[in-house]
Amino acid sequence: MAAPYGGQRTPQTSTALTAANIVATTDQFINGRFISDALPVGVHLITTPSATSIIAAIPNGTVGDTFECFIDNQLNPQNRTLVPGAGCTMFGSTTINLGTFVHLLGIIRNTGAPAVDLAPNAGPESGDSWSTVMLTSTVATTSATPVSITGMSFTPVPGKRYLVKTYLMLRSSATNCGCQPGFSWPTSMTDGAGWMNATLSSTGFANRSWGTLNTQVAAATAVPTLSVSHYAEGVAMLITNSGTTGSFQLVFQSELGNSVSIEPGSVLMYQEY
């Protein structure tokens, strides 16, 4: 494979994501960097240039030439969605979750009938390829039935397998009222299984293991103290198919109806395997 275009790995252009929908130019996209800004609730799209435009913008572009793009969505409170331009094919998730940073590798696959492959989280700067969703503000509820932890979700690509892990910081307004975390599944999956545990004392945890049929939570019945956060963790495996729709969503509920919360710094992580 040829070296990265321009012989460099440093972004050339930095573009602020100040609008809900961005149609990227080749100057912005090739070896560029997009930086998020706070935007209102809604679907926020980044459409890539066409394969024809990308190849034309790379001097003497040939099959195997590569380029990079960095998309920083850590400040925006909303997910971003990548929309491949004409002739571009995305390998991997098109969703850039709030609180995450994506490294996108582009590869010229064909110049006769222009084609460019785009691979999120590919290459040496991507670490171990986990996508991360970080909670940036407290989410609270008094509901005794499961409610979504806002923003703590991802939409799996049909026909893929995923490993998921989450680490949560919990609080309750009453020591005898447990904060009960769990998750819900996408629909029409091939298979899946998960496990969640949550603090109920200084030495004990409530545990719950279940499959893809319904939403469940770890039935914690207390917290040791009110002045600090307490720990919960969960893991899951997902196997999707062409009919799979919807999101993997973290949820929680209050055991007794007192206010409980999930605190900033809690994290959801996932990757294909």
Domain boundary among 79, 109, 127: 127
| Phi, psi for residue 26 in degrees, rounded to 5 | -65, -35
**Is 80 exceeded by the pLDDT of residue 41?**
no
- Cα-only R_g, the chain: 21
Domain boundary among 106, 127, 148: 127
Query: What are the residues whose beta carbons fall under 8 Å from the beta carbon of 7, sequence distance 6 or more?
Result: none
Residue 159: how many other CB atoms lie within 10 Å: 12
Domain boundary among 127, 146, 171: 127
pLDDT in tens, 154-174: 999 899 999 999 999 999 999
Q: What's the structural domain count of the chain?
A: 2
Task: Name the nearest CA neighbour of 169 among 88, 248, 82, 250.
Answer: 250
Residue 245: how many other CB atoms lie within 10 Å: 12
141 and 244 assigned to the same domain = yes
* Residues 53, 57: Cα–Cα separation, whole Å: 6
Domain span at residue 122 reads 5-127
CATH at 226: 2.60.120
**Is 90 exceeded by the pLDDT of residue 29?**
no
pLDDT in tens, 206-250: 989 999 878 999 999 999 999 899 999 999 999 999 999 999 999
What's the whole-model pTM score?
0.58
Within 13 Å of residue 72, how many CA atoms lie on the same side as its CB? Answer: 13
